[in-house]
Amino acid sequence: SYEVTQPLSMSVALGQTANITCGGNDIGTKNVHWYQQKPGQAPILILYRDYNRPSGIPERFSGSNSGNTATLTLSRARPGDEADYYCQVWDTYTNWVFGGGTRLTVL
Amino acid sequence: QVQLQESGPGLVKPSETLSLTCTVSGDSITNFHWSWIRKPPGKGLEWIGYIYHSGGTIYNASLKSRVTISMDTSRNKFFLNLTSVTAADTAVYYCARDKGDFGADYWGRGTLVTVSS
């Protein structure tokens, strides 16, 4: 089965840039979506197909995907960006699979 | 505006069947795919499966033997049945509109289901 790995947690200083990674075998050949989930709330789609932002998502969120790593980049971090971030990948055999999630703390 | 709302029992006994309904407004469930996802306490998101416009289904292989997703297009609802539940099935269950390569763009607020005697 296809597996994707994310760091369990990371921190970023206020106003700085965070890069949250999602690793998987040849993930660069697959479409990756990213979700933000705050405590007690439903997940929100923040990027689709690697780097595309849905309407209403700030430009501070960007993404890339190459080789074995997809990356969500959050620029100018704010306290309101503290959340869990999940990548999601479609694999022919495993179908949809989520990464384990990364808890982002803004210091 | 697309809205989804999960409903169903909040408590299910071990070995019984968990049954949830997702009521959709603002879009027809004959469009796109419609997914169930869950989040166990202290763990990450887990995709359960989806149903698409023709009624076809795709399930998470690890749950496939216990899961059934169905739909009622006349009432614009779709359903989740999970049989032989254990404490490991305790989770917040979400339904979502799944646009495949465009991601799951609308989600319900989620409903907590606890498996306990």
CA pseudo-torsion sign A6, A7, A8, A11: negative
- For residue B34, the SS3 value is strand
> Which pLDDT band holds residue B54 (cuts at 50, 70, 90)?
confident
Task: Say yes or no for a CB contact (<8 Å) between B103 and A88.
Answer: yes
CB contacts of B33 in chain A (<8 Å) are none
Residue environment code for B60-82, b if the CB has 16+ CB neighbours within 10 A, otherwise e: beebeebbbbebeeeebbbbbeb
CB contacts of B94 in chain A (<8 Å) are 42-43
Q: What is the spatial distance between Cα A25 and Cα A28, in angstroms, rounded to a whole number?
A: 8
Print pLDDT tens along chain A (107 aa): 889 999 999 999 999 999 999 999 999 999 999 999 999 999 999 999 999 999 999 999 999 999 999 999 999 999 999 999 999 998 877 788 999 999 999 99
Chain B residues in contact with chain A using a Cβ-Cβ cutoff of 8 Å = 35, 37, 39, 44-47, 49-50, 58-61, 94, 99-105, 107-110
Q: Angle A28-A33-B20 (CA atoms, 0-180°, nearest 5)?
A: 135
Tokens, residue A64: 């890339």
A91-104 residue pLDDT tens: 877 788 999 999 99
| Interface contacts A/B by beta carbons within 8 Å | 65
Q: Which residues contact B97 (CB under 8 A, 6 or more apart)?
A: B2, B4, B24, B27, B32, B33, B34, B35, B104, B105, B106, B107
Tokens, residue A77: 């971090």
Tokens, residue B103: 């991601």
